[in-house]
Amino acid sequence: MDAPAKAAETAPRRLNGAGIIAAIKASGIEYILSVPDIVTSAGLLAPIAHDKDLRLIRVCKEDECIGIAAGLAYCDKRALILIQHTGFLDSINAIRGVAVEYKQPICMMIGLLQHAPDVAPRQSPRYGVRIVEPILDDMGIAHHLVSVDGDVAQIKPAIDKAYAESHPVAFLIGRSPS
């Protein structure tokens, strides 16, 4: 193993919330639509709630976010949906209709509840976590695992692509951001 590879392997595996928020802002996101998720509660939702550059809309149920984001997209306004994977599962029909069949740029950041960060989601002992990626694949929705700081660079290009090509995208948060 060469030195850089060894260094990468031994580097602390962490996910910085401020880095994710910076990437969200760099992506032109103005609105965050959210039901609280314990994975992203402290590292993302709490700071976003106090961030003057982002407008947080707290909703009662996750599928509301899909309609709100679509309405905003028709106004050329960008939104990010910040939810837990349980809320994603609860919103499948809305995502099917609005994001997939109507080809709307619905951008979702999904916390994987009770997920062990160093295990691939498909290998999770948690059934609810294990089925998320296969469902996204079956629905043809692009998705990206964000578990360490190095994954954050995927966010802006993926959001830009979603809006440029009018299709949904999902970011799976595999570790609680600090």
Q: Site residues (CB under 8 A) for other proteins?
A: 31, 57-61, 63-77, 79, 93-94, 96-98, 101-102
Nearer to other proteins, 93 or 114 (CB): 93
- Contact assessment for residue 166 and residue 105, using Cβ atoms and an 8 Å cutoff: yes
**Structure token pair of residue 58:** 């707290």
Q: How far is CA 150 from the centre of its chain?
A: 15
> From the CB of 41, what's the least distance to other proteins, in Å?
19
79, 31 contact by CB (below 8 A)? yes
Q: For residues 56 and 29, is the Cβ–Cβ distance under 8 A?
A: no
Q: Which is nearer to other proteins, 24 or 69 (by Cβ)? A: 69
Which sign, positive or negative, has the C-alpha torsion 59, 60, 65, 69?
negative
The secondary element (H helix, E strand) that includes residue 173 is strand 169-173
Return the number of the residue (29 or 146) whose C-beta is nearest other proteins. Answer: 29
- Say how far apart CA 177 and CA 42 lie, in whole Å: 8
DSSP classification of residue 58:
E
Q: Which is nearer to other proteins, 51 or 64 (CB)?
A: 64
From the CB of 27, what's the least distance to other proteins, in Å?
A: 17
- Which residue, 99 or 148, has its beta carbon nearer to other proteins? 99
CB of 162 to other proteins, least distance (A): 16
**What is the nearest approach in angstroms of other proteins to the Cβ of residue 95?**
9
Closest distance to other proteins from the beta carbon of 132 (Å): 19
